[in-house]
């Protein structure tokens, strides 16, 4: 990976060695420890009129202010060394930290309250879990093995949830996830409900192991 776990911990916020920002440290952690690609993302700020967010991409009609990759952005690849990751991110100061979905993981997303209830149940059952994110839009995002998005309709059918009115969706190839500690569309910071670990980041669980519990929690929340 190019550096040790102890080395990356020394670079976390508070030390700021060589003047690097906390975003540089986070990018290096994601690429070096967890094995994820990272893409520089646009930021959003409240417009002068206060009615809507303006996007740092500069497009007046941006459909997703602060929630998409920067134009012509180059990904920092998984496995990048601490120095390489920091050097790349210093070229895009202030960028949001985005993770491309579909290569290392897909994402099952439900309402945050449903996700919290499901998380408690899954932990009690002792099922394997990957990282889980909470967004300022009130959503919980569960990392699962790649391929879940393509198989979701079939999985829901097999479990008998295909006809249910579920507030549940899956992110897959082509989607991007705003990662902590970045803000989402100027609404506030994204945070970890379950942080990544060396055991879970590179090997998230298959969607079928979590989907039944997530669907049940989402269905109850709808009711």
One domain, residues 67 and 45: yes
101, part of any domain: no
Q: What is the mean pLDDT of the chain?
A: 87
Least confident interval from 22-26, 47-51, 103-107, 115-119:
47-51
Residue 8 above 60 pLDDT? Answer: no
Please check the confidence at residue 35 and state whether its pLDDT lies above 50: yes
Within this chain, do residues 82 and 17 fall inside the same structural domain, yes or no? yes
Is the residue at 64 inside a domain? yes
The pLDDT of 7-12, averaged and rounded, is 40
Answer yes or no: is pLDDT of 125 > 90.
yes
Among 75, 95, 115, which residue terminates a domain?
95
Calpha distance 44→66 (Å, rounded): 4
Of the pLDDT bands very low, low, confident and very high (cuts 50, 70, 90), residue 48 is low
Which structure tokens are listed for 99? 């993770």
> For residue 103, what is the DSSP state?
S
From 48, 75, 95, give the residue that closes a domain. Answer: 95
pLDDT on residue 7: 39
In a domain, 197, yes or no: yes
pLDDT at 204 over 80: yes
Q: What is the mean pLDDT of residues 174-201?
A: 93
Based on the fold, state whether residues 128 and 210 are members of the same structural domain: yes
Average pLDDT over residues 140-158: 97
Residues 117, 53 share a domain: no
Q: Do 111 and 73 share a structural domain? A: no
Of 95, 120, 138, the residue that ends a domain is 95
Determine, yes or no, domain membership for 212: yes
pLDDT given at position 5: 36
pLDDT beyond 90 at 157: yes
How far is C-alpha 156 from the chain's CA centre? 23
Specify whether 73 is located in the same domain as 159. no
Express each pLDDT in 159-181 by its tens digit: 999 999 899 999 999 999 999 99
Task: Kindly state whether residue 100 falls inside one of the protein's structural domains.
Answer: no
pLDDT for the residue numbered 4: 36
Residues 84 and 130 occupy one common structural domain: no
Q: Count how many domains the chain has.
A: 2
Same domain for 113 and 46: no
Q: Could you tell me the two tokens for 197?
A: 């670990």
How far is the first Cα of the chain from the last one, in angstroms, to the nearest whole number?
47
Distance (Å) of CA 18 to CA 5, 15, 23, 87: 18, 9, 14, 11
Per the structure block, which two tokens stand in for 14?
């508070």
In 3D space, the residue among 130, 27, 149 whose CA is nearest the CA of residue 78 turns out to be: 27
Cβ atoms of 176 and 98 closer than 8 Å: yes
Domain with 136, as residue range(s), is 106-222
């Amino acid at each position: 990976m190019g550096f040790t776990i102890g080395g990356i911990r020394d670079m976390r916020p508070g030390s700021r060695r060589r003047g690097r920002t906390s975003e540089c440290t986070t990018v290096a952690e994601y690429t070096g420890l967890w094995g994820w690609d990272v893409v520089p993302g646009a930021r959003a700020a409240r417009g002068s009129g206060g009615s809507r967010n303006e996007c740092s991409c500069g497009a007046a009609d941006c459909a997703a202010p602060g929630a998409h990759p920067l134009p012509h952005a180059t990904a920092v690849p998984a496995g990048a060394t601490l120095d390489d990751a920091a050097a790349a991110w210093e070229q895009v100061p202030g960028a949001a930290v985005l993770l491309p979905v579909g290569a290392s993981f897909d994402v099952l997303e439900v309402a945050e309250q449903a996700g919290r209830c499901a998380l408690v149940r899954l932990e009690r059952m002792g099922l394997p879990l990957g990282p889980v994110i909470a967004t300022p839009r009130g959503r919980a995002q569960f990392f699962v093995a790649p391929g879940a998005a393509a198989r979701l309709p079939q999985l829901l059918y097999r479990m008998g949830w295909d006809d249910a009115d579920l507030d549940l969706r899956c992110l897959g190839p082509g989607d991007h996830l705003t990662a902590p500690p970045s803000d989402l569309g100027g609404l506030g910071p994204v945070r970890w409900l379950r942080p990544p670990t060396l055991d879970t980041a590179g090997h998230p669980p298959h969607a079928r192991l979590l989907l039944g519990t997530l669907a049940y929690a989402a269905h109850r929340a709808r009711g």
